[in-house]
Amino acid sequence: DTGVSQDPRHKITKRGQNVTFRCDPISEHNRLYWYRQTLGQGPEFLTYFQNEAQLEKSRLLSDRFSAERPKGSFSTLEIQRTEQGDSAMYLCASNSFGYNEQFFGPGTRLTVL
Amino acid sequence: DAKTTQPNSMESNEEEPVHLPCNHSTISGTDYIHWYRQLPSQGPEYVIHGLTSNVNNRMASLAIAEDRKSSTLILHRATLRDAAVYYCILRDQGGGSNYKLTFGKGTLLTVNP
C-alpha cells in the first residue's frame, strides 16, 4: 500500500470557478477526514466520513463546499464558486475505527486568483 | 478539545537531543496527548501518543509530567530530516469527538548541520 493519495497536488483557478479534489485513502480504512490548512496555521478539521456516511461537518464547511464518499472508498471535495479566501492546502487523512493514528496524504494546494 | 501551548520555534544542532515542550494545564482525565509533525510540503505525520506513562517508539520518546499538565517530546539525536513543525494535540478518547484532530500552530524546529 502506498498510503493516502490526493489528486491533483496543485490547482490554480480563477475566482468563481468550481474545483473538485480527490482523495484515495489507505485501502480498508473505513474513516476518512478532510482538513484545510492556510499559511502559517495548523490544519483545521472540515469533515469526516465513516464508510460512506458523512458524520460531521465543521462550520468552516460553507454551503459552497460538498464532500462525498459514495462507495466508502475514495472521497471527493468540491468547492463551488471559489473565492480567494479558499486558497489553502486541502489535506485528506484516513484510519480505521478504534485506531489512534491518522494517516495523511500530501495535500492539494489550491490557489484562487 | 483542551488547548495546548507550544513555543513558536526552536533550534537544535544535528546529532544532539531535542526537547520540545508542550503545556496543557486544562487537560482532562480522558485526554490522550498526541504528537504529529509536518515536514515541508507534506501532510502531517504521526509521531507518538500517551496518556500517563512515558512512551518510547522508534521515532521519539514522550515524557509526561506527573500532574499531566505538561509533556515533552524528545528526539534523541536530531537529524536534518527532523526539521519540521511539531504539533502537540489533546484527544479526548472518551468523548464523542474523539475522531478528529485539533491542531494549534505547533513548534517549528530548525536543525543546524
B67-98 residue pLDDT tens: 999 999 999 999 999 999 999 999 887 655 56
More confident residue, B7 or B30: B7
User: Could you give the CA distance from residue A31 to residue A96 in angstroms, rounded to a whole number?
Assistant: 6
| Contact state of B99 with A93 under an 8 Å Cβ cutoff | no
Least Cα separation, residue B18 to chain A (angstroms): 21
pLDDT of residue A26: 95
Cell matching residue B10: 526552536
A:B CB pairs within 8 Å: 49
Q: What are the DSSP E strand ranges found in A1-113?
A: 5-7, 10-13, 19-24, 31-37, 44-50, 53-57, 65-68, 75-79, 88-95, 103-104, 108-112
pLDDT of residue A1: 56
In the three-class reduction of DSSP (H, G, I as helix; E, B as strand; rest coil), residue B11 is classed as strand
- Nearest C-alpha in A relative to B32: A100
Q: How does DSSP classify residue B113?
A: -
pLDDT at residue B8 tops 60: yes
Least Cα separation, residue A92 to chain B (angstroms): 8
- Answer yes or no: are the C-beta atoms of B6 and B22 closer than 8 Å: yes
Partner residue opposite A104 with nearest CB, options B41, B44, B102:
B44
Residues of chain A neighbouring B102 (CB-CB closer than 8 A):
45
Least Cα separation, residue A14 to chain B (angstroms): 23
More confident residue, A21 or B29: A21
* Bridge partners for B86 per DSSP: B37, B107
| Contact state of B45 with A42 under an 8 Å Cβ cutoff | no
- The share of chain A scoring above pLDDT 90, in percent, equals 86
Residues 10 through 49 of chain B touching chain A, CB cutoff 8 Å: 32, 34, 41-46, 49
Residue type, A69: R
pLDDT at residue A21 tops 60: yes
Residues of chain B neighbouring A105 (CB-CB closer than 8 A):
43
pLDDT of residue A99: 81
- Give the number of other Cβ atoms within 10 Å of residue B75's Cβ: 21
User: Could you give the CA distance from residue B52 to residue B36 in angstroms, rounded to a whole number?
Assistant: 18
